[in-house]
């Protein structure tokens, strides 16, 4: 029971919160029970034959045992399992019609963060965000999975199976969340020094909350004369990062719009607090080895604190 207690949580395939994850969970249970039954049968057979030490078997008897126990039995079991897996496949990897691509969320793996683009009706994207995907409850979400540098892997254990993100290719995955909540999704393919610090959060929300959130994302943060915002411009943060509602807008680093509302910063590396944002600005390399953002420890401490306070408040 203590061991089983470890199976729940926000990053567990054994605590499904989506249709595809439920199908995989069902497969897991069938395999565990099936494997248990085969193990018990073999153990019972072993005990039975060990107790009945009779005269040696004839060659014919032994051949029959090999034919039935070594050929027929495994063939039937494997065929049944294959049939079950083929039957289950459409539930795990739903066929995605070409039209669904236009309404799909584009997720690109970068070293070491996630670029996320939400669709607009005109085939363009409505807004970009980073390291956090929000989804409306009960609606199938299609993801176009890409990578810019090396192979990463997209995996939300609570919602479904994983799929590789390969440079030069677009893989498609559809997931249907069935429960609201916050889930964690790790990068599931070794991609470099900070592979272990590359995760994103998935927030499944009621449809109306999701609509409010998307509207706020599109609006961004209209310019205000706040000190933190002026400092962000003065220190050149917007050469790489974007803040919707601000000009200029960089596109090479994670989009910072509504960053204060995210579950974490640095793609799952740190809890989202102004102190941690300041720590990250000062020295990203000490938190995420191999990150492309340089250390900004030459920026005065009071400016970093002001910027961190401003970013933390963007909710
Ligand atoms: Cu990206 Cu591992």
- At 219 the pLDDT is 87
Domain's final residue, options 45, 63, 92: 92
- At 266 the pLDDT is 93
Atom of ligand 1 nearest to the CA of 196: 2
Say whether both 103 and 180 belong to one domain: yes
- Residue 18 tokens, joined: 């989506």
| Cα-to-centroid distance, 108 and ligand 1 (Å) | 11
Say whether both 117 and 48 belong to one domain: no
Say whether both 173 and 189 belong to one domain: yes
| Cα-to-centroid distance, 194 and ligand 1 (Å) | 7
Say whether both 281 and 235 belong to one domain: yes
Q: What average pLDDT score do residues 209-221 get?
A: 90
Number of structural domains (the chain) is 3
- At 315 the pLDDT is 87
**Length of the chain measured in residues:** 315
Tell me the C-alpha distance between 129 and 82, whole Å.
40
- Residue 247 tokens, joined: 């000009």
Say whether both 115 and 159 belong to one domain: yes
Tell me the C-alpha distance between 109 and 187, whole Å.
9
Atom of ligand 1 nearest to the CA of 192: 2
Q: How confident is the model at residue 29 (pLDDT cuts 50, 70, 90)?
A: very high
Say whether both 82 and 137 belong to one domain: no
Domain's final residue, options 198, 219, 240: 219
Entry pTM: 0.86
Residue 53 has pLDDT above 80, yes or no: no
Q: What average pLDDT score do residues 79-103 get?
A: 79
Say whether both 111 and 215 belong to one domain: yes
- Residue 133 tokens, joined: 């995907």
Say whether both 215 and 257 belong to one domain: no
| Cα-to-centroid distance, 7 and ligand 1 (Å) | 24
183: β partners: 202
Say whether both 82 and 171 belong to one domain: no
Q: How confident is the model at residue 109 (pLDDT cuts 50, 70, 90)?
A: very high
- At 96 the pLDDT is 67
| Cα-to-centroid distance, 196 and ligand 1 (Å) | 7
- At 270 the pLDDT is 94
Percent of the chain with pLDDT over 90: 65
Q: How confident is the model at residue 94 (pLDDT cuts 50, 70, 90)?
A: low
Domain's final residue, options 190, 219, 248: 219
- At 120 the pLDDT is 84
149-201 per-position pLDDT tens digit: 999 999 999 999 899 999 999 999 999 999 999 999 999 999 999 999 999 99
- Pairing verdict, β 181-186 and 152-154: unpaired
Question: Is 86 within a domain?
Answer: yes
- At 62 the pLDDT is 87
- At 99 the pLDDT is 64
Residue 95 has pLDDT above 70, yes or no: no
Atom of ligand 1 nearest to the CA of 190: 2
Question: Is 283 within a domain?
Answer: yes
Question: Is 6 within a domain?
Answer: no
The SS3 of residue 112 is coil
Residue 76 has pLDDT above 70, yes or no: yes
Q: What's the half-sphere exposure (Cβ side, CA atoms, 13 Å) at 88?
A: 19
Domain of 39 in residue numbering reads as: 13-92
Residue 251 has pLDDT above 70, yes or no: yes
Say whether both 57 and 163 belong to one domain: no
Phi and psi at residue 44, to the nearest 5°:
-65, -40
Say whether both 214 and 120 belong to one domain: yes
- At 271 the pLDDT is 94
Mean pLDDT of the chain: 90
**CATH code of the domain in which 123 resides:** 2.60.40.420
């Amino acid at each position: 029971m203590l061991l089983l207690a470890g199976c729940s949580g926000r990053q567990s395939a054994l605590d499904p919160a989506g249709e595809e994850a439920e199908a995989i969970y069902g497969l897991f249970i069938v395999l565990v029970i099936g494997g248990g039954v085969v193990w018990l049968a073999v153990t019972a057979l072993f005990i039975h034959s060990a107790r009945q030490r009779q005269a040696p078997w004839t060659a014919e008897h032994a051949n029959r045992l090999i034919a039935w126990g070594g050929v027929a039995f495994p063939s039937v079991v494997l065929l049944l399992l294959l049939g079950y897996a083929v039957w289950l496949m459409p539930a795990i990897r739903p066929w995605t019609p070409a039209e669904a691509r236009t309404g799909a969320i584009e997720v690109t793996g970068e070293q070491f963060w996630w670029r996320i683009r939400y669709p607009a009706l005109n085939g363009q994207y409505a807004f970009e965000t980073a390291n956090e995907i929000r989804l409306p409850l009960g609606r199938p979400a299609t993801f176009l999975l890409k990578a810019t540098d090396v192979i990463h892997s997209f995996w939300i254990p609570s919602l479904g199976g994983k799929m590789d993100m390969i440079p030069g290719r677009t893989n498609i995955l559809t997931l249907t969340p069935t429960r609201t909540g916050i889930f964690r999704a790790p990068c599931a393919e070794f991609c470099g020094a900070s592979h272990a610090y590359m995760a994103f959060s998935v927030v499944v929300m009621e449809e109306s909350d999701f609509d409010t959130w998307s509207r706020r994302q599109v609006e961004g943060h209209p310019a205000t004369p706040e000190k933190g915002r002026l400092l962000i411009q003065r220190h050149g943060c917007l050469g790489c990062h974007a803040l919707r509602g601000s000009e200029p807008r960089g596109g090479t680093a994670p989009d910072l719009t509504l960053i204060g509302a995210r579950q974490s910063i640095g793609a799952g590396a740190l809890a989202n607090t102004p102190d941690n944002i300041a720590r990250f600005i000062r020295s990203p390399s000490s938190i995420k080895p191999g990150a492309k953002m340089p250390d900004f420890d030459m920026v005065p401490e009071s400016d970093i604190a002001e910027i961190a306070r401003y970013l933390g408040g963007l909710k």
